[in-house]
Chain A
Amino acid sequence: MSGSTTVTLSTRIRKRVSGGNRIMRMLLHRWDARVAIIILSLLTLSGVAPEALVGPLQTATTATADALLPPSGTHLFGTDDLGRDLLNLTVHGARISLVVGALSAAITLVIGGGIGMIAGYRGGRVDALLMRVADTFLILPTFVLALILAPILRELIGDQTEIFGIRTTLLTIVAVIGFTSWSSTARIVRSQTLSLRERTFVERARLVGLSPMRIIARHIFPNIRTVLLANGIVVIAGSILTESTLSFIGLGDPFQPSWGTILGNAQSAAAPSLGAWWFIAAPGCAILITVVACTVIGNAIDELLDRDVRVRR
């Protein structure tokens, strides 16, 4: 008996992997998704090993160049008002953006996915209550929440706590983005769950006595996994944007400059009026490209899903 269980398990893993491969293969058929995947791979590389690409992060004291140099052979992206190389800053900023994006997306998916599945599957009063809560979170203004939460969280977990090399200030941003964006994920997941609940295989699982939690784990979750993936990637894009905005207005961590922080610096150094367009261009393009790449992939997965459903019907 245990033998047959192992066989079943290993098949399941094989099938699951091949499911992931299938999405990858289908994505690689589209030129826009192909470009987006290349861009995101480069960004991931920057996020994982920035030192290997551009050396250690330059600070005001380690900066060697003159201030506000336009792009040239030695400084491809130019330098900022403290003489730091903007290529160096932008590549190092990728880590912050990606980690903040990934962590926020993880929080969003866990909370939004969990609540969406429970609300959709249980229906009735549980559903009504959870969706009311989701609506409340949906209208919470991200900035106000960040302003309120930042000092509270700093107080609670201390300034020096680090997760994945990310310090408290940025964790605040992660928490705020996570808490304000899960509700739209919950809505998407709920509507998917509502339609899955009516499917015969779920009815049959109920008939043989499977508990609601098991039905969710066995039948609902596996069938919305790809929807979650598509949504997660789009959430990453949104998180990166929100993080940039928060850092831009000074809620970021000055010691861990993200793209938004660089933009903020450019603003306070009056880069636009000095004609230092490169100061804005480097972080701005990085944000733009990343967000567009994430959105392209998210939408591509969504469209593939739609086509899947159409073909099967």
Chain B
Amino acid sequence: MSEQLRANTSASAPLLRVRGVSVTYAAQRSIADLLARRSASGIVALDSVDLDVNAGEIVAVVGESGSGKTTLARVIAGLIAADEGVVEVEGEGPNDWRSVGMVFQDPYETLDPKRTLGEFIAEGLEAQGLPMDRVDTALEAAELLPAAAFRDRVPEELSGGQRQRVVIAGALALNPKLVIADEPVSMLDVSMRAQILALIEQLRRDQGIAWIFITHDLSLAWAISDRVVVLYLGAVVEEGTAEQVLRNPAHPYTRALLAALPSTDPGAAGTHSLAAGEIPQGDTPSGCRFRNRCAHAIEACALTRPPLEVAPGGGAEHRVACIRAAELPPLS
């Protein structure tokens, strides 16, 4: 019975539960706003986002620059508060958990140039009352060996890849159940990337750590993730297993992203090119937020926001927000 029960609870209660999270950044009031006696309009960075992450799972969050990936990471980490919605880790609100770690995009910026690596890792331990011997354990877990040789060095003496390992060690030391990695390899050269990806994979396997892997690079998402969530202008437009989303994309935006990959067939790239317009700067379009760039847009697309629904012909966890998903031509 207990086996059954455990399976049930883990299925119904994910490690991370994000529901209806919206974030609007206050914008500077422009002169036009002042003259029109408007309050500043603000930038909607996230619009009612849902996201589940199960224990030990690697979920890739993909999207172009400005789609809200970093904002989502900061909300989940508790660095900024959501204007609406809930974020729960193991059923607890942001003030109570200590089990979310974060790896930032720029390892050169994450380490204080004035402090040693040991001090960097010890900082979190001290703040959370954990024993200091975890410094070495964490350095070893991040494969910075021997730990004693790294403890007293300053960031200046390390390569970008080593720095990112130190940042990962800093997160590991605090015993996280979930680590959010915001474009963790985009600043590293190619040889380092594979190593960091392998480390993430290994930590998931050995310590059961769940990862949210944020990237704009679909090939990285394919290489590392179990599931993929596609963000566009602050909303989820498609989600599913890596296989479903990347092999069988149902949303025109996901298709366009895939077609823009250099490795795809150039003939296919033409039909789904992203060249049709940039991310809109001002207000999000009414109806489908992708419609001003979508090659398949029809009038009905302007009327209502398409909800996330089970993708045609896919499994139950493959969901897409497009009213024409069923009519789209199949990919070759």
Interface residues, chain A, CB within 8 Å of chain B?
Answer: 1, 4-5, 7-8, 11-12, 15, 199-201, 203-211, 214, 218-219, 222-223
How near does chain B come to A156, taking the closest CB pair, in angstroms? 41
Report the Cα distance A4→B132, complex, angstroms. 9
Q: What are the residues of chain A within 8 A of B152 when measuring CB–CB? A: 7-8, 11
Report the Cα distance A199→B104, complex, angstroms. 11
Report the Cα distance A1→B137, complex, angstroms. 13
How near does chain A come to B280, taking the closest CB pair, in angstroms? 27
> Does the CB pair A223–B114 fall under 8 Å?
yes
> Does the CB pair A4–B118 fall under 8 Å?
yes
> Does the CB pair A218–B123 fall under 8 Å?
yes
> Does the CB pair B102–A207 fall under 8 Å?
yes
> Does the CB pair A209–B98 fall under 8 Å?
yes
Given A7-B152, A203-B79, A209-B98, verify A12-B119 contact (CB < 8 Å): yes
> Does the CB pair A219–B112 fall under 8 Å?
yes
Closest B residue to A203 using CB positions:
B79
Q: B213-228 vs A: 1/0 string, CB under 8 Å?
A: 0000000000000000
How near does chain A come to B75, taking the closest CB pair, in angstroms? 12
Report the Cα distance A211→B115, complex, angstroms. 17
Count of chain B residues near A, Cβ 8 A: 33
Partner of A209, one of B113, B124, B135: B124
Q: B138-168 vs A: 1/0 string, CB under 8 Å?
A: 0000000000000110100000000000010
> Does the CB pair B79–A8 fall under 8 Å?
no
How near does chain A come to B212, taking the closest CB pair, in angstroms? 14
Partner of B151, one of A4, A206, A219: A4
Q: What are the residues of chain B within 8 A of A204 when measuring CB–CB? A: 102, 104, 110, 167, 170
- Residues 40-99 (chain B) with a chain A CB within 8 angstroms: 77-79, 98
> Does the CB pair A208–B112 fall under 8 Å?
no
Given A4-B118, A11-B152, verify A200-B110 contact (CB < 8 Å): yes
> Does the CB pair A1–B133 fall under 8 Å?
yes
Does B109 sit at the interface, judged by CB under 8 A?
Answer: yes
Report the Cα distance A200→B151, complex, angstroms. 21
Q: What are the residues of chain B within 8 A of A12 when measuring CB–CB? A: 115-116, 119
Could you pull out 5 A-B pairs where Cβ atoms are within 8 angstroms? A1-B133, A4-B135, A7-B152, A12-B115, A15-B114
How near does chain A come to B84, taking the closest CB pair, in angstroms? 22
Given A209-B98, A218-B123, verify A5-B132 contact (CB < 8 Å): yes
Partner of B78, one of A199, A201, A207: A207
How near does chain B come to A281, taking the closest CB pair, in angstroms? 46
Report the Cα distance A78→B110, complex, angstroms. 62
Q: What are the residues of chain B within 8 A of A223 when measuring CB–CB? A: 112-114
Q: What are the residues of chain A within 8 A of B113 when measuring CB–CB? A: 223
Closest B residue to A2 using CB positions:
B132
Does B12 sit at the interface, judged by CB under 8 A?
Answer: no
Listed from nearest, the 10 A-B pairs whose CB atoms lie closest are A208-B124, A200-B109, A209-B127, A222-B114, A201-B112, A11-B152, A200-B110, A210-B127, A200-B104, A1-B132
How near does chain B come to A202, taking the closest CB pair, in angstroms? 8
Report the Cα distance A45→B273, complex, angstroms. 75
Does B111 sit at the interface, judged by CB under 8 A?
Answer: yes
> Does the CB pair B114–A8 fall under 8 Å?
no
> Does the CB pair A208–B128 fall under 8 Å?
yes
Closest B residue to A14 using CB positions:
B152
> Does the CB pair B123–A205 fall under 8 Å?
yes
Does B200 sit at the interface, judged by CB under 8 A?
Answer: no
> Does the CB pair A7–B112 fall under 8 Å?
no
> Does the CB pair B106–A8 fall under 8 Å?
no
Does B174 sit at the interface, judged by CB under 8 A?
Answer: yes
How near does chain A come to B142, taking the closest CB pair, in angstroms? 15
Partner of B154, one of A4, A15, A205, A209: A15
Partner of B116, one of A8, A208, A214: A8
Report the Cα distance A176→B146, complex, angstroms. 56
Q: What are the residues of chain B within 8 A of A209 when measuring CB–CB? A: 98, 124, 127-128
Q: What are the residues of chain B within 8 A of A203 when measuring CB–CB? A: 79, 104
> Does the CB pair A218–B115 fall under 8 Å?
yes
Report the Cα distance A195→B101, complex, angstroms. 24
* Max chain B Cβ within 10 angstroms of own Cβ: one of A4, A15, A208: A208
